Amino acid sequence: MAQFMAFLLTILFICSFTSAMAAYNIADFGAKPDGRTDSAKPFLSAWAAACGSSQPSAIIVPAGRFLLSQALFQGPCKNSNIRIFISGTIVAPSGYGSNTVWISFNYVQGLSIFGGTLDGQGQSFWACKMAGRSCPNGATSLTIAESKNILISGLTLLNSEVFHISIFGSSGVTVRGAKITAPGDSPNTDGIHIQKSSFVTVSGSSIKTGDDCISMGEGATDVWIEKISCGPGHGISIGSLGDTPQEDGVQNVTVKSVVLAGTQNGLRIKTWGKPNTGFVKGIRFEHAIMQNVQNPIVIDQNYCPGNKNCPGQSSGIKISQVMYSDIHGSSATQAAVKFDCSSSNPCSGIGLQNINLSYLDKQAQSYCRNVQGSTSGFVIPPSCL
Ligand X SMILES: *[C@@H]1O[C@H](CO)[C@@H](O)[C@H](O)[C@H]1NC(C)=O
Active site residues: 234
Q: Could you tell me the sign of the dihedral formed by the alpha carbons of 176, 180, 184, 190, in that order? A: negative
CB nearer to ligand X: give 52 or 377. 377
CB of 85 to ligand X, least distance (A): 27
- On the CB side of 170, CA atoms within 13 Å amount to 29
The C-alpha atoms of residue 102 and residue 138 are separated, in whole angstroms, by 9
CB nearer to ligand X: give 120 or 266. 266
Measured CA to CA in angstroms, residue 255 lies from 203, 252, 325, 354 at distances of 10, 10, 10, 16
* Residues in contact with ligand X by the rule CB under 6 A: 199, 222-224, 252, 254, 356, 358, 378, 380
Q: Could you tell me the sign of the dihedral formed by the alpha carbons of 100, 104, 108, 114, in that order? A: negative
Residue 147: closest CA among 216, 219, 196, 102? 196
CB of 144 to ligand X, least distance (A): 17
CB of 263 to ligand X, least distance (A): 18
β 148-153/171-176 pair status? parallel
CB nearer to ligand X: give 116 or 219. 219
Across the chain, which distance is largest between two alpha carbons, in Å?
A: 83
Three-class SS of 133-199: CCCCCCCEEEEEECCEEEEEECCEEECCCCCCEEEECCEEEEEECCEEECCCCCCCCCCEEEECEEE
User: 179 exposed, middle or buried (CB, 10 Å; 0-12, 13-18, 19+)?
Assistant: middle
CB of 378 to ligand X, least distance (A): 4
CB nearer to ligand X: give 90 or 327. 327
CB of 87 to ligand X, least distance (A): 31
CB nearer to ligand X: give 308 or 361. 361
CB nearer to ligand X: give 224 or 367. 224
The C-alpha atoms of residue 131 and residue 152 are separated, in whole angstroms, by 34
CB of 254 to ligand X, least distance (A): 6
**Can you list the alpha helix ranges (DSSP code H) found in the chain?**
2-20, 40-52, 123-130
362 DSSP 8-state letter: B
CB nearer to ligand X: give 180 or 223. 223
Q: Which residues contact 9 (CB under 8 A, 6 or more apart)?
A: none
Measured CA to CA in angstroms, residue 192 lies from 118, 126, 201, 203, 215 at distances of 14, 18, 11, 12, 6
CB of 265 to ligand X, least distance (A): 20
Q: Which residues contact 112 (CB under 8 A, 6 or more apart)?
A: 82, 83, 84, 150, 151, 152, 153
CB of 237 to ligand X, least distance (A): 17
The DSSP code sequence of 46-63 is: HHHHHHH-SS-EEEEE-S
Tell me if 361 sits within 8 A of 331, measured CB to CB.
no
